[in-house]
Amino acid sequence: MIPILNHQDQDAMRLACRLSAQVLAEVADRVAPGVTTGELDRFAADRMASLGVASAFYQYNGFPGCCCISINEEVVHGIPGPRILNEGDIVSLDLGVRTGGFNGDNATTVRVGRVTPEVDRLCKVTEESLWAGIDQARAGRHVGDIGHAVQKVAEAAGFGVVRDYCGHGVGRHLHEDPQIPNFGHPGRGALLKAGMCLAIEPMITLGTYRVRVLSNDWTVVTRDRLPAAHYEKTVLVKASGAPEILTQA
């Protein structure tokens, strides 16, 4: 069953998502050469504490950080620590806030200083694919419409679409039904209805879409170690028209 939120719950979601977006924007502002991913994570933890909200990720299935921070060949689920950001890196910051019984979830990829033109294009296309997917999150459409839209943008640009990880419903729990793959066929999969909250999150690669998990049991990397980009927003399906973007600072 895919949860459908009533108006009161939608307001609680709006708050969790707005604060998630605010903290994400503040963490993104701290990205610079020489900064460690552990420092970014501690900053996020401090900001959440001062806003009086919890990290939706900390200790989720035992995850040790408050954000997932993934550099270059790391696709998602990077563990914050001593790794230092260097000029030319790209870094996926993925974080969620839990408050009032609801969770927001969002991610962005930040360029560290100047990046190569092809990596810059990877980021642009991945963000564009996110917006194409979001535009399909409308009542009466299907989960496959979202995946198809993401896949079309990414593959038309010559990039890979990660198959092993996907977007998801989000609300009372960080991960709810439906799963939202970043590939698919129009008209297939679960029917979308007003009141559903979806976290749409394309993970797009410069080379192969095949990934593996490092020995820390968390960090997902591309098999060819070429970079990947990752953007995510939580949206609310409306009775008509385009979805409401909930993770907006």
Looking at the Cβ atoms of 115 and 183, the one nearer to Mg ion is 183
CB closer to Mg ion out of 67 and 115 = 67
> Judged by CB, which is closer to Mg ion: 115, or 134?
134
Question: Cβ of residue 201: shortest distance to Mg ion, in angstroms?
Answer: 5
Phi-psi region of 153 (alpha: psi -120 to 50; beta: other; left: phi over 0): alpha
Nearest to Mg ion of 40, 115 (CB atom): 40
Residue 96 Cβ, how far from Mg ion at the closest point, in Å? 7
Cβ 76 to Mg ion, closest distance in Å? 8
At its nearest, how many Å lie between Mg ion and the CB of residue 2? 16
Residue number with CB closer to Mg ion (70 or 115): 70
Question: Which positions touch Mg ion (CB under 5 A)?
Answer: 105, 199
Minimum Å gap between C-beta 101 and Mg ion is 18
Token pair recorded at residue 146: 């979202």
User: Secondary structure of the chain in the HEC alphabet?
Assistant: CCCCCCHHHHHHHHHHHHHHHHHHHHHHHCCCCCCEHHHHHHHHHHHHHHHCCEECCCCHHHCCCCEEEEECCEEECCCCCCCECCCCCEEEEEECEEECCEECCEEEEEECCCCCHHHHHHHHHHHHHHHHHHHCCCCCCEHHHHHHHHHHHHHHCCCEECCCCCEEECCCCCCEEEEECCCCCCCCCCECCCCCEEEECCEEECCCCCEEECCCCCCEEECCCCCEEECEEEEECCCCCCCEECCCC
- Closest CB 181 distance from Mg ion, rounded Å: 13
Q: How far is the CB of 84 from Mg ion (least distance, A)?
A: 26
Shorter beta-carbon distance to Mg ion: residue 90 or 199? 199
Shorter beta-carbon distance to Mg ion: residue 44 or 115: 44
Q: Which residues of 49-58 are buried (b: 16+ CB within 10 A; e: fewer)?
A: eeeebbbbbb
